[in-house]
């Protein structure tokens, strides 16, 4: 199965994708995590990406697309993938569609995690205290939300039009959200 998680910062994309890993036995591809790893290594991609990530801006499409393209060459991704935080722009979505069409494996499902900005901000400020992610501060969080509204939310119509979008109430507890996600996947399998 090929599943995309779309949702604003803090909506639980990473949390739920990790839970689904063992349930579906397919790998997780988080562009945010890959970019944070590159940043930690301080390689050329990481240094460049940091200039965008630390301000809550999107890393330019060509960099992200090259990184994802390389990752998808790995045979581990042949049987499916959980995309977390990718695609995030229309250009990324179109490019993903093209490469999946070449493989003959279109997307099965796009899960939209929905939650209020107030709840999301409070989750990220809690995480800031626990983990110290550089972009989890009030100014950068507000900018990440704005970037989501401007650049990523338009993808919802793109996927709705294709009939693959399923909204999920992400205000619930992680267990409840996971339950709803599994139910949406089951419905898709049976359809
Ligand atoms: P990325 O790492 O993707 O961050 P994000 O979208 O801002 O989202 P988060 O990872 O903060 O949240 P999440 O939805 O994964 O929620 P989580 O499960 O962690 O991107 C970071 C940056 O990298 C971007 O700003 C950009 O610069 C760059 N980037 C990444 N991808 C890119 C791309 N494709 N193109 C261009 N640039 C890109 O949960 C959040 C917190 O809430 C956790 O502490 C969790 O424990 C808690 N939590 C989760 N679920 C619940 C729940 N149901 N109830 C209560 N608490 C919960
Ligand atoms: Mg995440």
Q: What is the pLDDT of residues 67-92, one digit of tens each?
A: 999 999 999 998 899 999 999 999 99
Q: Return phi, psi of residue 114, to 5°.
A: -110, 130
In which band, very low, low, confident or very high, does the pLDDT at 22 lie, cut at 50, 70 and 90? confident
Chain-wide mean pLDDT for the chain?
Answer: 96
> Which residue ranges have their beta carbon within 6 Å of ligand 1?
7, 9-15, 31-32, 35, 52-53, 56-59, 64, 85-86, 88, 92, 123, 127, 135, 144, 170, 173-174, 177
| pLDDT greater than 90 at residue 121 | yes
Q: Which two tokens mark 179?
A: 């339950």
């Amino acid at each position: 199965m090929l599943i995309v998680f779309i949702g604003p910062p803090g909506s639980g994309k990473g949390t739920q994708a990790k839970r689904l890993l063992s349930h579906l036995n397919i790998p997780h591809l988080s562009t945010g995590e890959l970019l944070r790893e590159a940043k930690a290594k301080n390689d050329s991609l990481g240094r460049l990406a940091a200039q965008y990530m630390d301000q809550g801006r999107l890393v330019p499409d060509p960099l992200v697309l090259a990184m994802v393209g390389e990752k998808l060459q790995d045979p581990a991704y042949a049987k499916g993938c959980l995309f977390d935080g990718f695609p995030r722009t229309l250009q990324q979505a179109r490019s993903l569609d093209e490469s999946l069409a070449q493989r003959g494996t279109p997307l099965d499902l796009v899960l939209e995690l929905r939650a209020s900005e107030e709840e999301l901000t409070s989750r990220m400020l809690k995480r800031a205290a626990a983990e110290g992610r550089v972009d989890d501060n009030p100014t950068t969080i507000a900018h990440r939300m704005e970037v989501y509204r401007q650049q990523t939310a338009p993808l919802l119509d793109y996927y709705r039009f294709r009939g693959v979008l399923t909204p999920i109430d992400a205000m619930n507890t992680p267990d409840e959200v996971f339950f709803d996600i599994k139910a949406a996947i089951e419905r898709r399998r049976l359809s």
